[in-house]
Amino acid sequence: MIPAGGTDDGGIGTSFEKVLSGIEQADAGDGVVLLCDLGSAILTAETALDFLDDAVRARVRIVDAPLVEGGVAAAVAAEIGGDLESVVRAARSAAEGVPAAPVDPASPPLVTRTVTLVNKDGLHARPAADFVKLASTFTARVTVNGKDASSLLAVMSLGLIRGMTAEISSSDENGAEAVAALGDLLESGFGEE
């Protein structure tokens, strides 16, 4: 994740050089997702794209998403090995707000486990990313307190801290393994105190 904010001399504005070299640094061949807020940042990002080789430009995407939330969601999607399009989707999801739970509330969960959070930061930041990363490795759809367990923003929006309980559920037939693994991760305290 390469920050490219501010002018060359550190003032308010946008530096073409910073944006262009940021794209080059971030580009390992799999693609680059570019998040920018408004005005000159967007125009400079679009201009920088014009200066790239066709092959590089084809794998760079400018995504209209909130800078902080979109950046966090995109970083987690990239970290868990998502391809360019899934990183784009993750960033864009931040613009749409927290996604709805993936299960029909009318269909009762087949498996549920309730866990009390033991670590200091609860399900926030890195622990939330670890949790989402693990949830994403299962095909079964899982919810935590009714929110999509594979959506970082959804999990973080729960604001679960130490002492609170998380209800992990799945309505999928193959969901038991995922619910067990996610419950174990929460009980482990993520290696935190």
Partner 1 sequence: MNLDVTWAKAWITTGAAVMNEHRVELINLDREIGDGDHGENMDRGFQAVLLKLDDLPAEANPGDVFKLVATTLISTVGGAAGPLYGTAFLKAAVAVTGSAELDGAALVALLTAARDGIVLRGKAESGDKTMVDAWTPAVDAADAARAGGADGPAILAAAAAAAEAGAEATEPWVARKGRASYLGERAIGHRDPGAQSSALLLRAAADTAAGD
DSSP character at residue 189: G
Q: How far is the CB of 40 from partner 1 (least distance, A)?
A: 4
Q: Is 21 in the site for partner 1 (CB under 8 A)?
A: no
Q: How far is the CB of 44 from partner 1 (least distance, A)?
A: 5
Q: Which is nearer to partner 1, 42 or 110 (CB)?
A: 42
Pick from 189, 77, 94: which is nearest to 136 by CA?
A: 77
Size of the site for partner 1 (CB under 8 A): 16
Q: How far is the CB of 53 from partner 1 (least distance, A)?
A: 16
Of positions 50, 53, 173, 193, contacts partner 1 by CB under 8 A: 50
- Count other C-beta atoms under 10 Å from residue 50's C-beta: 7
Show Cβ contacts of residue 15 under 8 Å, excluding neighbours closer than 6 positions: 4, 6, 7, 8, 44
User: Residue 38: helix, strand or coil by DSSP?
Assistant: coil
CA distance linking residue 91 with residue 85, whole number of Å: 10
* Stated length of the chain: 193
Q: Is 40 in the site for partner 1 (CB under 8 A)?
A: yes
Q: Is 57 in the site for partner 1 (CB under 8 A)?
A: no
* Candidate segments 42-50, 136-144, 145-153, 184-192, binder of partner 1 by CB under 8 A: 42-50
- Full DSSP string of 40-83: HHHHHHHHHHHTS-HHHHTTEEEE-S-HHHHHHHHHHHHHTT--
Q: Give the catalytic positions in this structure.
A: 124
Of positions 2, 5, 13, 26, contacts partner 1 by CB under 8 A: 13
Q: Which is nearer to partner 1, 49 or 156 (CB)?
A: 49
- Binding residues (CB under 8 A) for partner 1: these are 7-8, 11-17, 39-40, 43-44, 46-47, 50
